[in-house]
Structure 1
């Protein structure tokens, strides 16, 4: 065989490998473009120039692979490099996309609130379905929109027209069905805890014959805040279960974060503070906790008006999410300055450093009757636990596991903080390594 023939045979034998390398290069470029777009769009790896290094390495791999493909050199080496690089970029891209999806799920529930409206009758009533009800007691003046939505829904879905019998309050409506003056009553489930203050056995004295969940969009405009400084409203609602459920806000804390100085200021407003409540509250004075009955945006407006500030973001948690977060962090340690026994859980808390599991932490932050300063001391205990949570979340161990923590809390927490906001905080922490002081 002549030298020319051998060269031709060798050239043809390498043609499939060259085509494979060009195909791998195209795949790598596509993965890299999407990965780089998401990285810069959502501020991933924006600490210690890691994003720049990542981008430069990708460009160098593309240029080197393109050169080797054109020159038809080091074909097997090029194949190995492109396969390994594609796997690495694909894995990184998957991580970016998973994080974005997690945050979007958190933001999804933050776009609406859920109000559960029911029709209830006395537990010994012979009425078992909505068809048997023609009139029902309802505080139309106090909860106009929700009651109207319920009655219209019953008419459109069940074909039943019901006339509301006007009452002064949900408590008054309950008194009417208890005394036999009305067949049934409308019940906004957010008000159950209020009724139980005067009627502790309320739930055991009624039965539900119809339920309708109303979803309402939460409208919060983005505010312009000083670079590196922003306010987060932390709302703790007094329920278990769905985080989107409207309820009283028993914890009302403004967390002011300064990423320039790495300082966090916590401002607690007592739940029973007598304040003007806008929107559904009609700018009338009432307890701050009741602002939560009109939605998280009303609680935020109430505090903004009270302190003449802007609240940039909010995080809303309930008992379920609080328990889960403490468990994920492996408990928290706080300093307790007065010995007490909690009503919730009957836990004994001595003076000094105490390490709390999730159930103990819930008892610690809910207690007020056993404390010398009542609600004010409860607010201070809530601040202690939040400070402990922040310090644990800001630790290098927790920051690297934030995706895992977020994924397990995505159905238990409401927040309007975007992926960009969260990544900026993570990048700042990883870049400086400086602990936040609370």
Structure 2
């Protein structure tokens, strides 16, 4: 026979259980408070959900939930109900916080690489050379373009002396291409080669890598100036409307997105949130313009501006069009186009039928459906097109326009995390997350219809014009049509000021 439990024992057990329940509820309330504080921080700092009073509603839900649970805990009422409500709140808030943090941290990765640039400097010899180590070149002479790339060459030479105890004598030469020619002809034993200029060399000698061997490599990492990292903040009206220019630089290179490289795609995206107008202005890669920065304001192809860094390209285009470029986005096209698969493919109108060299895809005239691989063939091709690089630039605009339209659709909000993950290794931008939030908030608040237009600067092909980066070579250049330049400039300013 079991002994009867006394009333006092029952009361003691009940009080103990009740006390334990209250402690759990207070702990849950503390967790709720911490989660709420972090959520409010994200919403305020990154200006999230600032449309249709959604952020105000969120603050109200947070305040009511915290105060309600606090009051019930103080009054020691509805303990089980409070527990259920608190757990549900923590689960929902935790999931929301995780998604928000993933989005913000994913975007911050796109900005981290804007803080520095990378250039790989190499010592190169002929394939059949007996030289196999850098030490074998101690006190030997190497060829390098000191006037063209003085800072990088001297940094590299200093590195060899300080870390490898190798002293080399540098023989100045006009360009890296001429240094390569001297190496091939046997005039020099070794040369210095900057990876940023290899695209130029490959253009003239497609199989150059089969004839050379690298005996030493060193990556020069340079911090960027604050002005480059932060961009130029545009003016914002009282109602949140704004207009700005975003420079889209398209590269197609292996290695990290922070690597300095030629820019084969040069588009200024002019955005006016008040009118919903977006203007894509393409400047042909071969446009013969004055190159700012490392180009010493000398005439050359626009694409060569990229080898001196993205700021050189920005300054060159600002000088050309007399406008301010507020931010930039630098895209590795090969990996960026994989984003097309994330958004479910895109449709574009093709004005002329052709077969692409990349992938051997046939694109008939009319509307064509593109996945990432087909899109790469579509935007790379120029030799099969009637107007060469001009038509290629138009096709690039079409694909970018199609991606923008897909990303602007409400259904893409749920895929924001996946999109950020896809872009992490293929895009860098100095455009702040808050600015993008403001653009999205304004668009949702005012239900502005997006109107995307395209234009391209007209150029006339000409051979034999001098190139600062490749002196002595007979290159194809695009002489700028002054009438077209005036029209393009006026349209950019009109969209900005509407």
| Shorter-chain TM band | over 0.9
When structure 1 is superposed on structure 2, of 113-122 and 177-186 the one drifting more is 177-186
1:175-214 → structure 2 map (5 Å cutoff) = 175-214=181-220
TM-score by length of 2: 0.84
Equivalence for 2:126: 122
Structure 1: 4+ residue segments shifted above 6 A: 1-9
User: In the TM superposition, what are the counterparts of 1:13-412 in structure 2 within 5 Å?
Assistant: 13-133=17-137, 134-219=140-225, 220=228, 221-227=230-236, 228-412=242-426
TM-score, scaled relative to structure 1: 0.95
Q: How big is the shift at 1:154?
A: 0.8
CA positional deviation for 1:2:
11
Alpha-carbon distance change, 85 to 135 in structure 1, aligned in 2, over 3 angstroms: same
Distance change in 2, residues 1:260/1:163 (3 Å): same
Provide, for residues 26-67 of structure 1, a one-character-per-residue CA deviation record: whole Å limited to 9, x for no partner.
221122112111111111222222221111111111111111
Q: Using a 3 Å threshold, how does the CA distance of structure 1 residues 34 and 238 change in structure 2: closer, same or farther?
A: closer
Give the superposition deviation at 1:365.
1.4
Q: Shift of residue 12 of structure 1?
A: 5.0
CA pair 349-2 structure 1, distance change in 2 beyond 3 A = closer
Q: 1:179 to 1:77 in 2, by over 3 A?
A: same
Residue 422 of structure 1: aligned partner: 436
Distance 1:120 1:330 in 2: 44
**Secondary structure, counterpart of 1:141 in structure 2:** helix
Aligned residues of 1:39 and 1:96 also touching (Cα < 8 A): no
Q: Name the CA distance, whole Å, in 2 between partners of 1:38 and 1:194.
A: 45
Say whether the 8 Å CA contact 1:21–1:75 is kept in structure 2: yes
5+ residue gaps, structure 2, are 237-241, 453-498
Q: Distance in 1 between matches of 2:411 and 2:371?
A: 19
Q: Return the alpha-carbon distance in structure 1 between the equivalents of residues 206 and 397 of structure 2.
A: 30
SS in 1 for 2:385: coil
Look up the match of 2:473.
none
Give 1:407 shift: 1.2
Distance 1:9 1:334 in 2: 73
| Distance in 1 separating the partners of 2:440 and 2:355 | 38
Whole-Å separation in 2 of the counterparts to 1:7 and 1:184: 92
2:493 is aligned to none
C-alpha distance after superposition, 1:205-250 (max 9, x if no partner): 0011111111122331532323321111111113133211111101
Distance apart, 1:196 and its partner CA: 2.6
Question: Which consecutive residues of structure 1, in runs of 5 or more, have no partner in the other structure?
Answer: none
Question: 1:417 Cα shift?
Answer: 1.7
Question: 1:310-349 CA deviation, whole Å, 9 max, x = no partner?
Answer: 1111111123323322222232111011122223333222
Segment drifting more, 204-213 vs 333-342: 333-342
Q: How many residues align?
A: 438
Q: Quote how far apart the aligned CAs of 1:6 are.
A: 8.0
Mapped contact 2:176–2:193 kept (Cα < 8 A): yes
Matched residues in 1 for 2:16 and 2:203: separation? 87
Cα distance in structure 2, aligned partners of 1:3 and 1:110: 72
Q: Give, in whole Å, the separation in 2 of the partners of 1:283 and 1:277.
A: 5
Question: 2: CA distance between counterparts of 1:20 and 1:306?
Answer: 66
Local SS of the residue matching 1:51: helix
Q: Residue deviations 1:251-281, cap 9 Å, x none?
A: 0000111222222110000111111111111
Task: Give 1:386 deviation, angstroms.
Answer: 0.8
Distance between the aligned counterparts of 1:6 and 1:376, measured in 2? Answer: 88
- Distance in structure 2 (CA, Å) of the matches to 1:321 and 1:193: 18
**301-310 vs 336-345, which moves further:** 336-345
Question: Structure 1's 360 and 3: CA in aligned 2 closer, same or farther, altered over 3 A?
Answer: closer
